């Protein structure tokens, strides 16, 4: 029968329901055992010591208690000990006191060999004693009184009584243990019974059914009793092979944890048993920076690290919770019963704390961390598949936001059916040419010169109209379409740049790249091939990467950044000020341009913006001190343009100068300002150009940049009515 505390060696908390239950059963059981032994005459047990059969039975009871027969993969069912057959045979032949004494000794031996906690050993002795007492009561009721001096031998007419006694023995043990498991693992007792009774009843029926035959054989030919061991051994090995195959199918080979299939079964059981205000919680846990360990020290060290993680997780959850490994460095934790989201977050925080303890392997110390996503039933999902999907969404939100733990929030889910439909439309839109590039100029604030253009993606959906990049680019980034989308943008930008350069409009085109692009080792090769195909120098294109991307995945993107720099393609750091950069990290980035995020720039035009002004001025000074070019995004008013110029910002970009234009309009716009194009030769071209190449009519000190633009004829009125976000 299953052990209610098999997964823990520590005793239950004093005063808890489980502690009270175990204490009550143990007290009653040992009292019953003491009373039964007191009823024996001293001469009776002494007389048995001289009977060889008694010692044979004693050995079989003890040996049968050492290794259970396991026929179920259920976490509630740990197996049935073959000692049941010989104990029940002794009970039938010699009576309750002798049988319970032998079984108590066997349980003690098992506890010593397997190093079980004392409370487990005591409970097991008590519950076996009470089960034997139930069987003895049935026998006594029908006039059967076995004893050491008057052994009982069953006959054909007694089979009904023996069957009832066996049923009483089994049901008593089953109920006592199921209640303990229910309290220990905080599960419904009905659920525990359903998971236990079916498998255990079959094994007990076989073992207890053989007990009368053992009695008959040992009465007529005691030497044949050991032969009963042979079928038990056959059953044991057959069950072991079956369970090994079952275990391999339902558990992870490296860590021994349940796999996705078993997690599915456990979750469905928990959802079926959930009652009232009770919730079922599912965590998805992903280790941060684990790939660095595999790449640096190899997979064997990574495997050992995963085994340590599995051990820490299983010893940090509550009894009854399930820890599973889904693959790679991704784990799942099932909470069959949890009060609410706050309680779930407490458990998640405890898991992260357990993982943060440093690990020492191969002479190195590793600091582990993990991102955890939480989804609850029925709050967030009605079934396992949707629960797992939404825990995955929450986990990626935790990873992106670097918060450690996130609970699923529908408003932040990018995977709604509508968005999935949009993803299909995007794939078709790429094939049918619905996506185009618009180009927005970047203007030198001190000179009025055009220092480049940024390519911004636009999607004109046949039925939905113009769709903002904010709605489809993040969706593509999470799918297989991101590489195809990026390749399309780069090809279109290079093709347009080639057309401009062939006509003497040597303007640099900036293209945004995503986090997934920087993990694509083929990006430099495709860029080099595109530049070669169109006959363009590397400076004809500039790649813009966000500060947050570089800060989050430095280890993964370092090689990619190095390859792009070796290729000669200039890089710009986009959305500066919204990430987590330090001065040291910024110095290490091979970028030529830093773009100040539009959220800061727009606030320069608001009342009481002095705090923002200090931040922007500090960024401009920092960028200048590093020898880089500063670009202000989102310049929408003359006041903001003027303040940026006074602060020393090099370049401005926004509606105040010019909105993003289709390729044909951008071509006409550039042709009309051919003499104002700064050479695309790197970051300092705009402010190191010879004086003869600057704007013919210089800008007076303090004159706003807009005036310089107006003198040069740069503004063409395209800003009116075009409120298009300058992203991607």
Over residues 580-586, the mean pLDDT reads: 51
For residue 16, what pLDDT is reported?
83
For residue 269, what pLDDT is reported?
83
> How far apart, in whole angstroms, are the C-alpha atoms of residue 41 and residue 19?
35
Q: Residue 690: pLDDT above 70?
A: no
- pLDDT, tens digit, 9 for 90 and up, residues 432-466: 889 999 999 999 988 888 999 999 999 998 888 88
Angle between helices 159-185 and 189-220 (to 10 degrees): 140
Give how far the C-alpha of residue 2 lies from the chain's centroid of Cα atoms, to the nearest Å: 31
For residue 723, what pLDDT is reported?
28
465 strand-pairing partners: 461
> How far apart, in whole angstroms, are the C-alpha atoms of residue 516 and residue 29?
64
511 strand-pairing partners: 543
Question: Mean pLDDT lowest for which of 38-52, 527-541, 648-662?
Answer: 38-52
For residue 606, what pLDDT is reported?
81
Residue % of the chain over a pLDDT of 90: 21
For residue 675, what pLDDT is reported?
75
| Close Cβ partners of 76 (under 8 Å, ≥ 6 residues apart) | 2, 181, 185, 187, 192, 195, 196
Assess contact for 629 and 683: CB atoms under 8 A.
yes
CATH 3.30.70.270 domain position(s) in the chain? 260-412
Q: Which of 240-244, 377-381, 480-484 has the highest mean pLDDT?
A: 377-381
Q: Residue 509: which pLDDT band, with cuts at 50, 70 and 90? A: very high
CA-wise closest residue to 443 among 152, 709, 91:
709
Over residues 356-373, the mean pLDDT reads: 79
Angle between helices 118-141 and 83-94 (to 10 degrees): 40
Strands annotated E in 502-620 = 509-512, 541-546, 571-576, 593-596
| Residue 390 vs residue 222, higher pLDDT | 390
For residue 456, what pLDDT is reported?
92
Assess contact for 669 and 441: CB atoms under 8 A.
yes
- For the chain, give the mean pLDDT: 79
Cis-peptide, bond into residue 288, ω within 30° of zero? no
Q: How far is CA 54 from CA 213, 372, 561, in A?
A: 16, 59, 80
For residue 682, what pLDDT is reported?
46
> How far apart, in whole angstroms, are the C-alpha atoms of residue 359 and residue 367?
7
Q: What would be the CATH architecture of the domain defined by 436-455+481-712? A: Alpha-Beta Barrel (3.20)
CA atoms within 13 A on the CB side of 434: 17
Record the tokens describing residue 54, joined without a space: 């008694």
| Residue 47 vs residue 491, higher pLDDT | 491
Give how far the C-alpha of residue 469 lies from the chain's centroid of Cα atoms, to the nearest Å: 29
- pLDDT, tens digit, 9 for 90 and up, residues 590-638: 788 888 888 888 888 787 778 888 889 988 998 888 888 999 999 988 8
Over residues 175-181, the mean pLDDT reads: 86
Q: Residue 700: pLDDT above 50?
A: no
| Residue 575 vs residue 703, higher pLDDT | 575
Give how far the C-alpha of residue 564 lies from the chain's centroid of Cα atoms, to the nearest Å: 32
CA-wise closest residue to 449 among 297, 651, 175, 609:
651
- Let me know if domain 260-412 sits in CATH 3.30.70.270: yes
- pLDDT, tens digit, 9 for 90 and up, residues 118-139: 888 899 999 999 999 999 999 9
Over residues 562-591, the mean pLDDT reads: 71
For residue 585, what pLDDT is reported?
56
Q: In a 3-state reduction of DSSP, which class is residue 491?
A: helix
> How far apart, in whole angstroms, are the C-alpha atoms of residue 530 and residue 536?
8
- pLDDT, tens digit, 9 for 90 and up, residues 201-234: 777 887 888 888 888 887 777 777 777 777 777 6
For residue 358, what pLDDT is reported?
79
Go through 188-220 and write b for each residue having 16 or more CB atoms within 10 A of its CB, e for each that does not. Answer: beebbbbbbbebbeebbebbbebbbebbbbbee
For residue 685, what pLDDT is reported?
39
> How far apart, in whole angstroms, are the C-alpha atoms of residue 87 and residue 102?
8
Assess contact for 98 and 45: CB atoms under 8 A.
yes
| Residue 640 vs residue 468, higher pLDDT | 640
> How far apart, in whole angstroms, are the C-alpha atoms of residue 319 and residue 324?
14
| Close Cβ partners of 360 (under 8 Å, ≥ 6 residues apart) | 366
Assess contact for 73 and 65: CB atoms under 8 A.
no
CA-wise closest residue to 280 among 297, 288, 268:
268
Which H/E stretch holds residue 286?
Answer: strand 279-287
The model carries a pTM of: 0.49
Question: DSSP character for 495?
Answer: H
> How far apart, in whole angstroms, are the C-alpha atoms of residue 714 and residue 448?
8
Q: How far is CA 502 from CA 453, 489, 540, 678, in A?
A: 17, 20, 12, 16
| Close Cβ partners of 597 (under 8 Å, ≥ 6 residues apart) | 575, 576, 577, 578, 633, 634
For residue 667, what pLDDT is reported?
93
Q: Residue 578: pLDDT above 70?
A: no
Residue % of the chain over a pLDDT of 70: 81
Question: Mean pLDDT lowest for which of 56-65, 70-79, 156-165?
Answer: 70-79
CATH 3.20.20.450 domain position(s) in the chain? 436-455+481-712
Q: Residue 704: which pLDDT band, with cuts at 50, 70 and 90? A: very low
């Amino acid at each position: 029968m299953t052990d209610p505390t098999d997964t823990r060696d520590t005793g239950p908390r004093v005063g808890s329901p489980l502690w009270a239950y175990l204490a009550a059963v143990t007290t009653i059981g040992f009292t019953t055992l003491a009373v039964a032994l007191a009823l024996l005459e001293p001469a009776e047990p002494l007389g048995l010591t001289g009977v060889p059969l008694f010692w044979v039975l004693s050995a079989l009871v003890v040996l049968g208690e050492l290794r259970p027969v396991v026929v179920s993969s259920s976490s509630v069912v740990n197996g049935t000990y073959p000692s049941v057959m010989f104990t029940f045979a002794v009970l039938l032949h010699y009576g309750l006191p002798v049988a319970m004494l032998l079984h108590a000794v066997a349980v003690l031996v098992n506890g010593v060999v397997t190093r079980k906690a004392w409370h487990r050993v005591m409970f097991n002795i008590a519950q076996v004693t009470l089960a034997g007492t139930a069987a003895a009561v049935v026998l006594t009721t029908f006039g059967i009184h076995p004893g050491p001096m008057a052994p009982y031998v069953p006959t054909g007419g007694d089979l009904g009584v023996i069957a009832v006694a066996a049923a009483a023995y089994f049901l008593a043990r089953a109920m006592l243990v199921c209640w303990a498991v229910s309290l220990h693992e905080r599960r419904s007792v009905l659920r525990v019974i359903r998971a236990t009774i079916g498998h255990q009843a079959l094994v007990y029926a076989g073992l207890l059914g053989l007990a009368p035959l053992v009695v008959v054989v040992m009465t007529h030919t005691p030497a044949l009793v050991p032969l009963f061991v042979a079928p038990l051994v056959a059953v044991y090995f057959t069950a072991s092979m079956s369970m090994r195959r079952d275990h391999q199918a339902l558990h992870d080979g490296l860590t021994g944890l349940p796999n996705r299939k078993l997690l599915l079964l456990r979750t469905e059981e928990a959802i079926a048993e959930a009652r009232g205000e009770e919730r079922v919680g599912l965590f998805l846990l992903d280790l941060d920076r684990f790939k660095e360990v595999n790449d640096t020290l190899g997979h064997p060290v990574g495997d050992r690290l995963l085994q340590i993680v599995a051990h820490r997780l299983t010893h940090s959850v509550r009894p009854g919770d399930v820890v599973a490994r889904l693959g790679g460095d991704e784990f799942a934790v099932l909470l069959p019963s949890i009060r609410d989201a706050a309680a779930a977050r407490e458990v998640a925080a405890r898991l992260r704390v357990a993982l943060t303890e440093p690990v020492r392997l191969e002479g190195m110390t590793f600091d582990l961390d993990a991102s955890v996503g939480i989804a609850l039933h029925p709050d967030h999902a009605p079934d396992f598949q949707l629960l797992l999907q939404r825990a995955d969404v929450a986990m990626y939100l935790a990873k992106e936001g670097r918060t450690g733990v996130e609970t699923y929030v529908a408003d932040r889910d990018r995977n709604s059916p509508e968005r999935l439909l949009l993803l299909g439309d995007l794939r078709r839109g790429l094939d049918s040419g619905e996506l185009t590039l618009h180009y927005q100029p970047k203007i030198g604030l001190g000179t009025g010169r055009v220092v480049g253009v940024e390519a911004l993606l636009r999607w004109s959906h046949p039925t939905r109209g113009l769709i903002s990049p904010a709605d489809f680019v993040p969706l593509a980034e999470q799918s297989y379409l991101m590489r195809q989308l990026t390749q399309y943008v780069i090809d279109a930008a290079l093709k347009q740049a080639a057309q401009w350069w062939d006509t003497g409009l040597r303007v640099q085109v900036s293209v945004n790249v995503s986090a997934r692009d920087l993990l694509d080792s083929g990006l430099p090769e495709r860029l080099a091939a595109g530049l070669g195909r169109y006959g363009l120098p590397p400076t004809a294109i500039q790649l813009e990467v966000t500060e947050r991307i570089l800060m989050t995945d430095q280890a993964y993107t370092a090689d990619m950044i190095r390859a792009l720099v070796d290729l000669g393609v200039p890089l710009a750091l986009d959305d500066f000020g919204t990430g987590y950069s330090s001065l040291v990290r910024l110095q290490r980035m091979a970028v030529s341009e830093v773009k100040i995020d539009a959220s800061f720039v727009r606030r320069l035009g608001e009342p009481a913006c002095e705090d923002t002004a200090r931040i922007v001025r500090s960024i401009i000074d920092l960028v200048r001190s590093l020898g880089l070019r500063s670009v202000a995004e989102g310049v929408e008013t003359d006041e903001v343009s003027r303040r940026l110029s006074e602060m020393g910002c090099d370049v401005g970009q926004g509606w105040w100068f010019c909105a993003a234009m289709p390729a044909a309009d951008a071509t006409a716009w550039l042709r009309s300002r051919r003499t104002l194009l700064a050479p695309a030769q790197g970051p300092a071209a705009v402010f190191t150009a010879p004086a003869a190449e600057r704007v013919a009519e210089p800008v007076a000190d303090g004159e706003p940049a807009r005036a310089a633009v107006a003198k040069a004829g740069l503004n063409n009125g395209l800003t009116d009515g075009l409120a298009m976000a300058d992203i991607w």
